Structure 1
Amino acid sequence: MNKITNPIVILIIIYILCMSTTVSALSKNQIALGGIPLDASLKYVNSIYGPPTHIDGGGRWVSHYGNGFLVYSSSRRSRPDNHYEVGVNYVDQVIVTQNNGIATPDGAYVGMRENIIEELYGTPFNKFVNEKGELTYWYFANTQLLELKVKNSKVISIRITETD
């Protein structure tokens, strides 16, 4: 019987075993809801969904597009590395709380069965139960978060947000 004594072979085997149990990291293209990525302008959102049914103002706007579909936005300062338009609000969070046809690019939606979450996204970065008894799944793409909340084995809300 041959013994594996080459340290490089041993490291490769350890690496392969570790990769099979690692947390899934998403691509930035997977962090969107209803075709709205984070950092989209509110003008873009309105071009898809029309004007919001209700807006809560202040430094950060909350635009309501029907029941259970909230788009949070704020103005960004124009910087050389980011081409933000002065006076325009940009999306920094989207929340869906009803089965209203809004989904992620991978097809996650409110009302979906819980067992499909890890089929779509793999092992979450974090999975925990909150004070309301809701199970929460967290997935990251750099500084963006996809959060799915589950109760009674069904997705009850989906949120995408900036984390920085």
Structure 2
Amino acid sequence: MKKWTIVGLTALLTLAASAALASVPQESLYLGGIGYGSKGAYVRQVYGTPTETEQEHLSSHPSGTAVEYEYGDGVSIHLADETVYHIEVSANNGWATPEGIHVGMDASLLEKTYGAPDLIRGDKFIYTADGVPGVGMVFEIEKGKIDEIEIGRIKQAGLQ
């Protein structure tokens, strides 16, 4: 009887641990068709010349520099060595995840789409990516609605 109790508890704990991890697949790390790891040439090919470009200092990257592309008021794409490492969308402008999640939607759709977040910090729902440590999706919630979406390094969002 003791043996079955231990087996049952082990199975239950394993299920609970896997249910607690709401990791999203790497294929979800896209906004508006631009993904974590996309090349700058592809971004420019799809969306044209950015409305604004700004050089940034990036201490966590060997080159020490990065660039931010802005498209309109609500889209920022950060690149280091011509590779996208962070995307932010803060306007309901048609940019969405591959699953159709976009700014302005009801926040309850996040759990229906991705499951429970891995972490909630203040008004941010954080989902980590499968197989890519330190990378994921961050949804900022305001009055029950998605107010901002970030994809890329979670540290960039000030969460690590």
TM range (shorter): 0.7 to 0.9
How many residues in Structure 1 have an aligned counterpart in Structure 2?
Answer: 143
Aligned match of 2:55: 57
Q: Corresponding residue for 2:106? A: 113
Q: Aligned equivalents of 1:160 and 1:147: distance in 2?
A: 6
| Aligned partner of residue 161 in structure 1, secondary structure | strand
**Alignment match, 2:60:** none
Establish whether residue 161 from structure 1 lines up as the match of residue 152 from structure 2: yes
Amino acid at match of 1:92: Y
If each structure's helix is expressed as a fraction of its own residues, which one has the higher value?
2
Counterpart in 2 of 1:96? 89
CA RMSD between the two structures: 1.9
Rounded Cα–Cα distance in structure 2 between residues aligned with 1:91 and 1:57: 14
How far 1:145 moved relative to its partner?
1.7
- Structure 1 CA distance for aligned equivalents of residues 13 and 108 of structure 2: 29
Structure 1 stretches lacking a partner, 5+ long = 76-88, 130-134
SS in 2 for 1:29: helix
SS in 2 for 1:127: strand
Q: Distance in 2 between matches of 1:53 and 1:128?
A: 32
Q: TM-score normalised to the size of structure 2?
A: 0.81
| Residues 68, 9 of structure 1: alpha-carbon distance in 2 compared, 3 angstrom cutoff | same
Unaligned 5+ residue runs, structure 2? 57-64, 156-160
Deviation of residue 57 (structure 1)? 2.0
**TM-score using structure 1 length:** 0.79
Q: Which runs of 4+ in 1 moved over 3 A?
A: 7-10
**Letter aligned with residue 123 of structure 1:** A
From the CA coordinates, give the structure whose radius of gyration is larger. 1
Paired-residue identity, %: 24
Q: Which residue number corresponds to residue 139 of structure 1?
A: 127
2:88 counterpart letter in structure 1: I
- Cα contact 2:24–2:136 (8 A) shared by 1: no
Go from structure 1 to structure 2 and tell me whether the alpha carbon gap of 1:42 and 1:146 turns closer, same or farther (over 3 Å shift). Answer: same
